[in-house]
Structure 1
């Protein structure tokens, strides 16, 4: 026997009410036509106070610009996985992930439905676990910790790419995580070298142990040795027994960024540790065994650094068991939309914004831009835009002005760019391409460029001097 309309409606309401997610449905006038008990618990408002009323009358903190339901009614476009954190009517801080969909009948938008998953308890439990871990270690924990227990932020699924070359790097990184061999990660500034290194650590058997990172360029050369290997009491005035990074990373991973900034004599001591697995604190006569996986990163090709005399050749060959080359963003433009969506979602949540689309003009601008700062520059551009935007569409007016100026070398108020600079930038671009194509081999790169080897070495030294001066 066929069910009548009334029974069908009652069954549908019973099904929707039993789902363990908040469901809120409004018609095209903004009136609530369905609101289940789970949604009521999220918002701290009784069902009867919501049904039949306009959304903004019940939730006055929202507006047409900030309400996802009203936004979907207006645009007819769905909004997926929108993070929200808000105090409900009872003053409790609620964290949800919402998906809002238009209801279309006969080609017309007749309403919208929002499905909200409550992550409040999960997040609170995570914070409590991290607070407990911090207390055990004697550290200070923030209200909203971002790190995993081992001090890292990223895992393999945080590496977003559709680029074939980067996917191969990611695949190799997964395989490399299963070994204990040393790794060199090469990539321009802002490509995500530390993100990849942290992901390798978290995919390895060492993930429950410490991850220690040190930028070798950030520490004066006179201090770097004692920071790496520790100090013995009395080794110099005021010196105390203090473990270095190798001891702190024992059993885990030590990540050394900008290795070519490390003094050559310290590189020699690092090589000795890698060969025998023992460290000696500064001023001590005894050695201590350590089990540390060393991963290094460089934003200049290692072979160029060897030619320039900033990297020991023997250390390079000892470290270069696995070599991972992260492609720059300009060579993987297919990742732009993926990364833009990711950063927009992140800063929507952080700033309480509701940006759901990017204009074609912005997409074209970003696609043509050279991205010297790579993914980090893209993230900062999105963060900057979402600081000033009040609409739901990201347009050129929200983009930092230097992007607009870079796309037009003859913009108003600027002089014609220097021909010498344009030639120098083009020359540098092709030198980098030749080095990438020959895996940093100076001789082969010179042949590709059809210039003498000595000429290429001279140009590389000048490029290095220029970048050092800029930094």
Structure 2
């Protein structure tokens, strides 16, 4: 039992999330280092003291810990913005859970707080910048994010041309568009081209990656917030309002939690939205285009899927249109010659065969990376086999394992990001045991990466 307690103490004390536990009297019984850092305190200043003694700005009605310790009812994903005891503004998402004994008696409450200060600050700065740009120069609204046109999409293969033809036809309608394609196939190029060929081309084009933000923050970013909707909230329009009259592009929609999908569906069906915490509805006129790399039927609510899947465009992976590789190579050689000051003229037949034989799991983005790599080692003439990256020269059986590990790592990290770092939820999403996910998180150094990112955010905030 002593070993189990010691292990639990090590895990909790090294957690990246703040953990604060009180008994039913409101006395703090556990308070880890992450919570102390967020609050600008030392653990010794909090342990053994009543919550209201340490945090006098709270009361019995506003303290989520006291409320849950009193009612036994959990409070999930509560947003909070506050200034800590060192004068630093902190944004967090808190989940507060009751603690029950073996016989069902309420023993207290524990609060787990995730610091999203860096992410929230960046997202709000981007929204404020977009709002200022819109208000200062309305003539540039259509140019703020959509710079690609159908003529910029390179390829003559039949599969690609069919998609582009359908995309051009869809540009002249107002229906939602769903773009499906593997990572690196050029989904955003197609989306921007549709916007620029539409009647909304001179209106705003705004893009948001749904996998980049936790659920509670994504809600406020998309739909806006009103003052008082959560602690520290301000009146701020969301991306729907900023895109009014234009196009809103939601990338990686499959990462959007089901609760937000329901809210998105209501906006699509009614043309109205409510800001977070607001009581009144606001009309918006926005065309929605979404994109995802996974099967939408596996990750979208059925009602939302049928609402969005009016115009479905599936971009083929590069391995299914290898006849376009020579055209793409010429394009990238020209681009990187200009950028790097080189004078490479093309690709030798031998190197071209190796490029054609490759399966391109990273698609066009991988090909671009490959050509740029070659031009870092060759300043003129033609790209030869020896100029190609090392993995082109490995036996095929040695390539499979790292590629599978790369895909596995990406899937795991995406699941962790979508669930806000909740290992149990991520394991359910992936369909694997929690213990297996914990082992793989260690293998791919998930916690080290998170610690590094948190450290960088804190350094930037100093």
* TM-score normalised according to structure 1 size: 0.56
For 2:278, the equivalent position in structure 1 comes to: 284
What is the SS of the residue equivalent to 1:355? Answer: strand
For 2:327, the equivalent position in structure 1 comes to: 338
Indicate yes or no: 2:238 matched with 1:244: yes
Indicate yes or no: 2:318 matched with 1:324: no
For 1:152, the equivalent position in structure 2 comes to: 146
The answer to whether the Cα contact below 8 Å between 1:150 and 1:207 also exists between their aligned partners in 2 is: no
* 1:325-345 deviation digits (Å, cap 9, x = unpaired): 100000000000000000111
- Deviation of the 1:161 alpha carbon: 1.2
Gaps of 5+ in 2: 1-131, 409-427, 447-462
2:278, 2:374 → 1: CA distance? 54
Q: Give 1:335-374 correspondences, 5 Å limit.
A: 335-374=324-363
| Distance of aligned partners of 1:153 and 1:373 in 2 relative to their CA distance in 1, 3 Å threshold | same
What is the SS of the residue equivalent to 1:161? Answer: coil
- Deviation of the 1:158 alpha carbon: 0.6
Work out the number of aligned pairs and report it: 283
What is the SS of the residue equivalent to 1:213? Answer: strand
For 1:110, the equivalent position in structure 2 comes to: none
1:138, 1:238 → 2: CA distance? 27
What is the SS of the residue equivalent to 2:396? Answer: coil
What is the SS of the residue equivalent to 2:344? Answer: coil
For 1:104, the equivalent position in structure 2 comes to: none
1:262, 1:221 → 2: CA distance? 7
For 1:409, the equivalent position in structure 2 comes to: 396
Structure number with larger C-alpha Rg? 1
The answer to whether the Cα contact below 8 Å between 1:231 and 1:241 also exists between their aligned partners in 2 is: yes
| Distance of aligned partners of 1:374 and 1:178 in 2 relative to their CA distance in 1, 3 Å threshold | same
For 1:265, the equivalent position in structure 2 comes to: 259
Name segments (4+ residues, structure 1) moved above 4 Å: 134-139, 468-471
For 1:232, the equivalent position in structure 2 comes to: 226
For 1:443, the equivalent position in structure 2 comes to: none
1:356, 1:461 → 2: CA distance? 49
Which of 174, 177, 183 is the equivalent residue of 1:180? 174
What is the SS of the residue equivalent to 1:218? Answer: coil
The answer to whether the Cα contact below 8 Å between 1:178 and 1:204 also exists between their aligned partners in 2 is: yes
Q: Give 1:64-83 correspondences, 5 Å limit.
A: none
What is the SS of the residue equivalent to 1:341? Answer: helix
1:417, 1:367 → 2: CA distance? 16
What is the SS of the residue equivalent to 1:392? Answer: strand
The answer to whether the Cα contact below 8 Å between 2:391 and 2:399 also exists between their aligned partners in 1 is: no
1:391, 1:373 → 2: CA distance? 26
| Distance of aligned partners of 1:277 and 1:245 in 2 relative to their CA distance in 1, 3 Å threshold | same
- Deviation of the 1:348 alpha carbon: 0.8
For 1:85, the equivalent position in structure 2 comes to: none
2:396, 2:180 → 1: CA distance? 31
| Alignment RMSD (CA, Å) | 3.0
Gaps of 5+ in 1: 1-133, 140-146, 411-415, 429-457
Which of 368, 379, 399 is the equivalent residue of 1:379? 368
The answer to whether the Cα contact below 8 Å between 1:150 and 1:209 also exists between their aligned partners in 2 is: no
Which of 184, 192, 195 is the equivalent residue of 1:198? 192
Indicate yes or no: 2:303 matched with 1:314: yes
- Deviation of the 1:350 alpha carbon: 1.1
Indicate yes or no: 2:155 matched with 1:161: yes
| Distance of aligned partners of 1:417 and 1:333 in 2 relative to their CA distance in 1, 3 Å threshold | closer
* TM-score normalised according to structure 2 size: 0.57
- Deviation of the 1:138 alpha carbon: 5.5
The answer to whether the Cα contact below 8 Å between 2:145 and 2:207 also exists between their aligned partners in 1 is: no
1:279, 1:246 → 2: CA distance? 8
1:254, 1:359 → 2: CA distance? 43
Which of 271, 274, 296 is the equivalent residue of 1:302? 296
* 1:72-107 deviation digits (Å, cap 9, x = unpaired): xxxxxxxxxxxxxxxxxxxxxxxxxxxxxxxxxxxx
- Deviation of the 1:376 alpha carbon: 0.6
The answer to whether the Cα contact below 8 Å between 2:142 and 2:202 also exists between their aligned partners in 1 is: no
Q: Give 1:29-178 correspondences, 5 Å limit.
A: 149-178=143-172
The answer to whether the Cα contact below 8 Å between 2:160 and 2:316 also exists between their aligned partners in 1 is: yes
What is the SS of the residue equivalent to 1:233? Answer: coil
* 1:124-176 deviation digits (Å, cap 9, x = unpaired): xxxxxxxxxx988669xxxxxxx972322210001111111111110000000
| Distance of aligned partners of 1:346 and 1:365 in 2 relative to their CA distance in 1, 3 Å threshold | same
1:137, 1:351 → 2: CA distance? 38
1:343, 1:390 → 2: CA distance? 14
Indicate yes or no: 2:206 matched with 1:217: no
The answer to whether the Cα contact below 8 Å between 1:150 and 1:208 also exists between their aligned partners in 2 is: no
What is the SS of the residue equivalent to 2:206? Answer: strand
